[in-house]
Chain A
Amino acid sequence: EVQLVETGGGLIQPGGSLRLSCAASGFTVSSNYMSWVRQAPGKGLEWVSVIYSGGSTYYADSVKGRFTISRDNSKNTLYLQMNSLRAEDTAVYYCARDHSGSYRHWGQGTLVTVSS
């Protein structure tokens, strides 16, 4: 059974850093496209970043230069390193398994709150 479990969210001050983790089971992260999608409180879905099976990475303009997506093949885990956090980064962050552009498997989400 495919399962994705995100951890690492919390309350962080503006300008701070946080690393989110997404532990996968039932499939191999490195053989798949994996994405992060976020949802601000009461708002819609926003794509954040993707890492392809070959290692290429892409980012939304809103996070480019501040966020870094990566994976640890030995741990079958996806990461999102978030630096220079802003209030507008406050959201639930979901990791998702990307299948030809559609997101068939999602984690439960982890809440990141950026506030002083």
Chain B
Amino acid sequence: DIQMTQSPSSLSASVGDRVTITCRASQSISSYLNWYQQKPGKAPKLLIYAASSLQSGVPSRFSGSGSGTDFTLTISSLQPEDFATYYCQQSYSTPPTFGQGTRLEIK
């Protein structure tokens, strides 16, 4: 199975900050990488698919980049509603696997 490792595991930031979350795959996954946002008690929400494509309806302050084994999710200017947990997920091979999550908290 492909292991996905996110860093950091938690992050404190302020409204208006630029934030970057990293996801590393244990082997090359080309661009088969997706990002989700999850708020407490809610289902995950797809933000970015295929490493850098913005899902419809997702604000443009979210962006993704990377290929191969190293990927990043960037939020250009944090908004209050962005404080949540973020997960990466590889869709290169079965079983699909998720990173352990990055909890983004208010500073």
Q: Are B43 and A45 in contact (CB under 8 A)?
A: no
Secondary structure class of chain B's binding surface, majority of residues: loop
Look across to chain A and name the residue whose beta carbon is closest to the beta carbon of B91: A101
* Interface mask (B8-27 → A, CB under 8 Å = 1, otherwise 0): 00000000000000000000
Chain B: interface size category: 20 to 34
Given A44-B87, A45-B87, A45-B89: A103 touches B44 (CB 8 Å cut-off): yes
10 interchain pairs (CB within 8 A)? A44-B100, A45-B44, A45-B98, A45-B101, A60-B95, A61-B95, A102-B89, A103-B89, A106-B43, A108-B43
B residues contacting A by CB (< 8 A) are 32, 34, 36, 38, 43-46, 49-50, 55, 87, 89, 91-92, 94-101
Q: Which residues of chain A have a CB within 8 Å of any CB of chain B?
A: 35, 44-47, 50, 58, 60-61, 94, 99-104, 106-109
